[in-house]
């Protein structure tokens, strides 16, 4: 490395010290970039915002159709912790009845980045999410009249550390979350509120990773920024209701990840008849606040002063 | 109505600061290309990134299969090309070589990576 002028070094060091937490923002582990997935929780703390996420859900078991317009904000408090807030406007069209619309339940959460392992492209995060009672339309839209506590463990692992003799497997990555729901009321209007086990995974094939780190096959924008993926997510009641009432969805799709934002689109396929039938779809516009505003709101709050 | 939008946008920019055209630096492409095979020893390795780089914190090395450096230890950002990183190479015999880079974009976001290329 050629020698540099000392004043340039000091200036750069000052810049780094003023915003050195950028290393943990976004979903980076070593040379692996993890995009924010749509269905499953992300295994990294971040300064990011989904604005909006629009879901046209498959018809439910009773044939009702619901469309959700969701906003989601993650904000780092320190380099390793963040808070999230999420809400949605719901539009429900029951079969043979007038449609209804209103706010869904407010969700908040706090998360801690347990580890980031660069060489093995691994991430781990623990969090506690809270779905708040009486913050949505309880009667009309079925929003809960009880608060639910949901501890979660989220993880991510890239396969970039596979032997170089398996080059085309190295762009694969998996992220996932394991968690529970603990409602604070055991029943509402005579209907039991079970504790749930939640599990979900996202299987990703990163074309940016293929291009930058495995083999340049000549893809250029926008194709070299695409990440095809399949997400699955399930919820299984573990008490208070008969066994075998797992619900879930399978969501194949693609994410385009740019410098300042990403755009994702997925089909929504019910995993079983308890979930619904037919098909739906979801699109998401997701903003990287740490890249858009690296010197202001994109920094952790602990580094604002 | 239009005036209200102008005021709102101006207020948002004032509060949040105007977004700078900077972000994480991704490797855009390289010469020799990532994962490629070249017939003869290249004189230099050049990496092109998607963002301008911070020179004091951006570096790359090239090593052979034994892990020994085969570069000239002169990594630099060429004058007038702030998103480019270059290093000179010693004459390379046939073999597989690993390029390891770590850079910091001018807004302090660090990124890193490795890739290989073959000679002969």
Which CATH number goes with the domain that contains A193? Answer: 2.40.160.40
Indicate the residue of A1, A25, A214 with minimum beta-carbon distance to B35.
A214
Whether A190 is in a domain gets the answer yes
Q: What pLDDT digit, counting tens, does each position of A92-105 carry?
A: 999 989 999 999 99
Please determine, for residue A237, whether its predicted confidence score (pLDDT) is greater than 80.
Answer: yes
pLDDT at res. B14: 39
The residues facing A173 across adjacent strands are A158, A204
Question: What pLDDT is stored for residue B3 in this prediction?
Answer: 52
Quickly list H helices, A166-288: 207-209
With respect to residue A13, please indicate whether it lies within any of the assigned structural domains: no
For residues A225-245, average pLDDT: 93
pLDDT at B5: 52
- Model confidence at A20: pLDDT above 80: no
**Which pLDDT score is estimated for A9?**
38
| Residue position matching structure tokens 């993880």 | A155
pLDDT category at A10 given cuts 50, 70, 90 is very low
Question: What is the pLDDT confidence band of residue B83, given thresholds at 50, 70 and 90?
Answer: very high
Overall domain count for chain A: 1
B19 contacts A1? CB cut-off 8 A: no
**pLDDT for the residue A242:** 87
pLDDT exceeds cutoff 50 at A19: no
List the domain range (segments joined by +) for residue A128.
32-303
Q: Within 10 Å of residue B1's Cβ, how many Cβ atoms?
A: 4
Domain ranges within chain B, ordered by starting residue: 22-119
Q: Which residue of B103, B109, B110, B114 to mutate against A (max A Cβ within 10 Å)?
A: B109
Model pLDDT, residue A140: 75
Task: Reduce the DSSP state of residue A16 to 3 states and report it.
Answer: helix
Residue of B nearest to A2 (CA): B74
Res. A16 pLDDT band, cuts 50 70 90: very low
pLDDT higher than threshold 80 for residue B23: no
Strand, helix or coil for residue B2:
helix
Where are the extended beta strands (E) located within chain A?
28-29, 32-33, 48-56, 65-78, 81-93, 100-103, 107-117, 122-131, 148-158, 172-183, 187-188, 191-192, 196-205, 226-237, 247-257, 261-270, 280-288
Residues in B touching A292 (Cβ below 8 Å): 19, 23
Q: In the predicted model, is pLDDT for residue A68 greater than 50?
A: yes
Quickly state the pLDDT bin for A243 (edges 50, 70, 90).
confident
- Tell me the pLDDT tens digit for each residue of A143-184: 889 999 999 999 999 999 999 889 999 999 999 999 999 999
Asked whether the beta carbons of residue B56 and residue A9 sit closer than 8 angstroms, the reply is yes
- With CB atoms and an 8 Å threshold, state whether B26 touches A212: yes
* A71-124 pLDDT tens trace: 999 999 999 999 999 999 999 999 989 999 999 999 999 999 999 999 999 999
Q: Please, which contacts does A275-279 make with residues 24 or more away whose CB atoms are closer than 8 Å?
A: A275/A58, A275/A61, A275/A247, A275/A248, A275/A249, A276/A57, A276/A58, A276/A59, A276/A60, A276/A61, A277/A58, A277/A59, A277/A61, A278/A58, A278/A59, A279/A58
| Predicted-assembly ipTM surpassing the 0.85 threshold | no
Residues of chain A contacting residue B114, judged by C-beta atoms under 8 Å apart: 31, 213
- Two tokens, residue A161: 């550390």
pTM score > 0.80 for this model? yes
Residue A195 has pLDDT above 80, yes or no: yes
pLDDT value, residue A63: 87
Express as a percent the part of chain A with pLDDT over 90: 71
* Paired strand residues for B103: B111
pLDDT of residue A26: 72
To test the contact with chain A by mutation, choose from B11, B26, B110 the residue with the greatest count of A C-beta atoms within 10 A, namely: B26
Is 50 exceeded by the pLDDT of residue B96? Answer: yes
| Residue A150 covered by a domain | yes
Q: What is the CATH number of domain B22-119?
A: 2.60.40.1220
Domain presence at residue A62:
yes
Alpha-carbon span A159 to A249, nearest angstrom: 25
CB A93 within 8 A of CB A58: no
The percentage of residues in chain A with a pLDDT greater than 70, rounded to a whole number, is 92
Mean pLDDT, all residues of chain A: 89
To which H or E segment does residue A10 belong?
Answer: helix A6-18
Q: Is residue A23 part of a domain?
A: no
Least trusted range by pLDDT, from A36-50, A290-304, B31-45, B72-86: A290-304
Mean pLDDT of the A28-45 span: 94
Amino acid A25: pLDDT: 52
Residue B25 and residue B88: Cα distance in Å, rounded?
22
Q: What is the pLDDT of residue B88?
A: 97
- The secondary structure element, H or E, covering residue B59 is strand B59-63
How far apart, in whole angstroms, are the C-alpha atoms of residue A197 and residue A201?
Answer: 14
Report the distance separating Cα A54 and Cα A282, nearest Å.
6
């Amino acid at each position: 490395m050629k020698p540099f002028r000392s004043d340039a070094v000091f200036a750069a060091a000052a810049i780094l010290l003023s915003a050195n937490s950028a290393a943990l923002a976004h979903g980076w582990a070593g040379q692996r970039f993890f995009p924010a997935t749509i269905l499953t929780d992300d295994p990294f703390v971040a300064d990011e915002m989904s604005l909006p996420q629009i879901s046209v859900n498959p018809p439910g078991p009773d044939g009702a159709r619901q469309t959700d317009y969701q906003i989601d904000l993650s904000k780092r408090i320190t380099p390793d912790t963040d808070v999230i807030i999420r809400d949605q406007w719901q539009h429900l069209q029951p079969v043979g009845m007038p449609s209804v619309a209103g706010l869904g339940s407010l969700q908040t959460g706090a998360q801690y980045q347990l580890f980031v392992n660069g060489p093995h492209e691994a991430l781990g995060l623990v969090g506690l999410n809270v779905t708040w009672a009486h913050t949505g339309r309880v009667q009309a839209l079925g929003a809960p009249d009880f608060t639910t506590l949901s501890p979660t463990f989220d993880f991510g692992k890239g396969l970039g550390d596979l032997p170089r003799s398996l080059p085309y497997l190295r762009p694969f990555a998996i992220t996932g979350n394991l968690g529970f729901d603990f409602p604070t009321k055991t029943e509402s209007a005579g209907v039991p509120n079970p504790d749930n086990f939640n599990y979900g995974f996202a299987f990703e094939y990163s074309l940016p990773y293929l291009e930058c780190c495995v083999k340049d096959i000549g893809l250029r924008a926008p194709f070299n920024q695409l990440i095809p993926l399949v997400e699955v997510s399930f919820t299984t009641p573990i008490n208070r209701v008969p066994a075998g009432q797992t619900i879930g969805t399978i969501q194949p799709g693609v994410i385009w990840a740019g410098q300042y934002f990403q755009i994702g689109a997925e089909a929504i396929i019910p995993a079983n008849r308890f979930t619904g039938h037919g098909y739906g779809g979801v699109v998401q516009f997701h903003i990287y606040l740490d890249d858009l505003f690296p010197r202001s709101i994109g920094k952790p709050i602990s580094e604002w002063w | 109505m239009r005036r209200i939008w102008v005021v709102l946008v101006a207020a948002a920019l004032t509060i949040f600061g105007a977004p700078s055209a900077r972000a994480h630096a991704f490797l855009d492409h390289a010469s020799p290309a990532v994962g490629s095979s070249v017939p003869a020893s290249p004189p230099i390795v050049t990496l092109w990134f998607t963002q301008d780089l911070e020179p004091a914190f951006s570096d790359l090395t090239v090593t052979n299969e034994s892990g020994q450096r085969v570069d000239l230890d002169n990594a630099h950002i060429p004058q007038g090309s702030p998103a480019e990183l270059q290093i000179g190479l010693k004459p390379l015999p046939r073999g597989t070589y690993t390029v390891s880079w770590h850079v910091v974009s001018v807004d302090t976001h660090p990124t890193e990576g490795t890739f290989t290329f073959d000679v002969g």
